[in-house]
């Protein structure tokens, strides 16, 4: 059944491809080249070398995948699988992710660029734990009896699967973000069509193979590789009941509009511009270490990346100096190298976009303290960008307002803590916020005042399967993780029963 075409890490060197043959589409339990037979190339961002070819799905493949997923939804093997048996399938997927962890981490690093330590220590365990968390939920998805006032009538609720779910994912944490959708979707007995980001599809392909190996019945998990057109066709398809999308706010808006045809259920996890508030009483060394990591983790390609820093004016120079020194000391390099702290950006196109923001920052009068250019020398073939710190940033500057999604730290000063929540909230985004203080009152007052889906006090932006994840305002619609995801992947049905004899 599994048709892995991946070369093992030991078989492929740092510049060689990782795919032996073109990757395939998974439709109804069968791996195939797609109707058109067309392929596209996926690249290693550390070297710009091709990693292999992937099948490019077209509209007829989308139709076939939707048909397969609809059929599987009614197939007794899945529809009537007991919650306990479904739990065992999810648990097996988690075990297989761990058993194949080295390979998955290697693929993620080659495809996305993240340091191998991040792939091994965050992406792979994060993916496995997500399946374990939702394996626990399959046997706890409950209805309720409702205290209705109709005479002699019993009312109870059932939670049923939404149906066929299109799971459309971005390129920054390809494996982990897919599991945030796939694990709860399967826990609630839905069927899915995965559409990974075209830049980084490799770990999704491997995970789909592992799902089959774990005993997920044919047609329950389908996977289509390809570009935005494949996503568009899924979003517009009348046979798709739900879209769960993680990606840019711009595409999120388009998805909201185009899913209106059959009024699909939509969950959107979108962009962010996380405000980070460093109070006058903060432990500055701890704040600097946390802020620099919070900004530069995965080279700043994190939706919740700390990306605008409001620092008490009395400490802003010290903060900027220390942050610039810490950022400049980070070692750039290929994700496979042990010495690497920061890997490349995902594509040349994305690097140009980040550099464009940096140029705009300079033109608008921000002071470039460190970085501000592409790395050269040994790294010039890859998409490496020097970690960048700006001082003297003001609220109206583009680098303080728009999502850059790269290794850029804009520092702003503030005089009055009472104004800071308003300044932090003056943004279209509301995904996360970060607060650094030793004062309990400051921490909780600001945590309540900022408009953001998650607030991190004196810590990094670390998600957890048991805690809700999602955004206020243009950062999204709905929540993933925790019991909240069960709501997103089920419909509530009320049953009225007349008890008159």
- Give the CA-trace dihedral at 353, 358, 362, 366, to 10 degrees: 130
Cβ neighbours of residue 251 under 8 Å, at least 6 residues apart? 228, 231, 245
Residues 238-257 that bind ligand NAD (CB under 6 A): 246-248, 251, 254-255
Q: How far is the CB of 485 from ligand NAD (least distance, A)?
A: 12
Beta partners for residue 54, in sequence order: 23, 40
Question: Of these residues, 56, 129, 303, 403, which one is catalytic?
Answer: 303
Q: Does 264 bind ligand NAD (CB under 6 A)?
A: no
Output DSSP code: residue 385: B
Q: How far is the CB of 403 from ligand NAD (least distance, A)?
A: 6
Q: What mask, x for binding ligand NAD by CB under 6 A, covers residues 396 to 425?
A: -------x-x--------------------
Contact, 411 vs 390, CB < 8 A?
yes
Q: How far is the CB of 428 from ligand NAD (least distance, A)?
A: 12
Question: Of these residues, 129, 269, 403, 480, which one is catalytic?
Answer: 269
> Whose CA is closest to 306, among 435, 418, 477?
435
Q: How far is the CB of 475 from ligand NAD (least distance, A)?
A: 6
- Give the binding range for ligand NAD (CB under 6 A) out of 168-176, 290-298, 325-333, 383-391: 168-176
Q: Does 172 bind ligand NAD (CB under 6 A)?
A: yes
Distance CA 294, CA 304 (A): 8
Q: Does 488 bind ligand NAD (CB under 6 A)?
A: no
Q: Does 472 bind ligand NAD (CB under 6 A)?
A: no
Contact, 334 vs 46, CB < 8 A?
yes
> Whose CA is closest to 184, among 132, 106, 256?
132
Annotated active-site residue 303? The verdict is: yes
Q: Does 135 bind ligand NAD (CB under 6 A)?
A: no
Q: How far is the CB of 400 from ligand NAD (least distance, A)?
A: 16
Distance CA 176, CA 498 (A): 47
Q: Does 103 bind ligand NAD (CB under 6 A)?
A: no
Q: Does 126 bind ligand NAD (CB under 6 A)?
A: no
Output DSSP code: residue 189: T
Q: Pick from 87, 94, 168, 366 the residue near ligand NAD by CB under 6 A.
A: 168
Contact, 297 vs 460, CB < 8 A?
yes
Q: Does 269 bind ligand NAD (CB under 6 A)?
A: yes
Distance CA 288, CA 322 (A): 7
Binding site for ligand NAD (CB under 6 A): 168-172, 177, 195, 197-198, 227-228, 231-232, 235, 246-248, 251, 254-255, 269-272, 303, 403, 405, 431, 471, 476
Give catalytic residues, as residue numbers.
269, 303
């Amino acid at each position: 059944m599994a048709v892995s075409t991946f070369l093992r890490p030991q078989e492929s060197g740092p510049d060689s491809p990782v795919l032996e043959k073109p990757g395939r589409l998974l439709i109804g339990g069968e791996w195939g080249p797609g109707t058109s037979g067309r392929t596209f190339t996926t690249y290693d961002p550390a070297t710009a070398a091709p990693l292999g070819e992937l099948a490019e799905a077209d509209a007829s493949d989308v139709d076939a995948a939707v048909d397969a997923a609809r059929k599987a939804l009614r197939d007794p093997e899945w529809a009537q699988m007991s919650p306990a048996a479904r739990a065992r399938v999810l648990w097996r997927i988690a075990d297989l992710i761990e058993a194949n962890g080295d390979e998955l981490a290697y693929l993620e690093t080659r495809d996305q660029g993240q340091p191998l330590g991040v792939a091994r220590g965050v992406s792979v365990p994060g993916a496995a734990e997500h399946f374990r968390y939702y394996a626990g939920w399959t046997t706890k998805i409950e209805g309720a009896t409702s205290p209705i006032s109709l005479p002699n009538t019993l009312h109870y609720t059932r939670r049923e699967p939404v149906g066929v779910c299109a799971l459309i994912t971005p390129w920054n944490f390809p494996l982990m973000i897919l599991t945030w959708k796939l694990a709860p979707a399967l826990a609630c007995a839905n069927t899915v069509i995965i559409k990974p980001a075209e830049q980084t599809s490799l770990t999704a392909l491997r995970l789909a193979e592992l799902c089959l190996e774990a005993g997920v019945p044919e047609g329950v998990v389908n996977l289509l590789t390809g570009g935005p057109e494949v996503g568009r066709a899924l979003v517009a398809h009348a046979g798709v009941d739900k879209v769960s999308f993680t990606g840019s706010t711009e595409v999120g808006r388009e998805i909201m509009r185009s899913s209106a045809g059959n009024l699909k259920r939509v969950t959107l996890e979108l962009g962010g511009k996380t405000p980070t508030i460093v109070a006058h009483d903060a432990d500055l060394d701890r704040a600097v270490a946390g802020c620099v990591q919070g900004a530069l983790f995965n080279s700043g390609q994190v939706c919740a990346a700390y990306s605008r820093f409001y620092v008490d004016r009395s400490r802003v120079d010290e903060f900027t100096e220390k942050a610039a020194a810490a950022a400049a000391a980070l070692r750039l390099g290929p994700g496979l190298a042990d010495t690497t702290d920061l890997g490349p950006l995902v594509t040349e196109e994305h690097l140009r976009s980040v550099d464009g923001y940096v140029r705009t920052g300079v033109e608008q009068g921000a002071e470039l303290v460190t970085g501000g250019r592409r790395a050269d020398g040994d790294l010039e073939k890859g998409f490496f960008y020097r970690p960048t710190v700006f001082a003297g940033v003001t609220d109206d500057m583009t680098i303080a307002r728009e999502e850059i999604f790269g290794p850029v730290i804009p520092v702003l000063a503030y005089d009055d803590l009472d104004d800071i929540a308003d300044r932090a909230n003056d943004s279209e985004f509301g995904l996360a916020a970060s607060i650094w203080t030793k004062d309990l009152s400051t921490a909780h007052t600001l945590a309540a005042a900022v408009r953001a889906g998650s607030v991190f006090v004196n810590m990094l932006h670390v998600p957890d399967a048991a805690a809700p994840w999602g955004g206020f305002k243009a950062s999204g619609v709905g929540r993933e993780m925790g019991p909240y995801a069960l709501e997103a992947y089920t419909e509530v049905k009320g049953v009225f029963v007349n008890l008159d004899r």
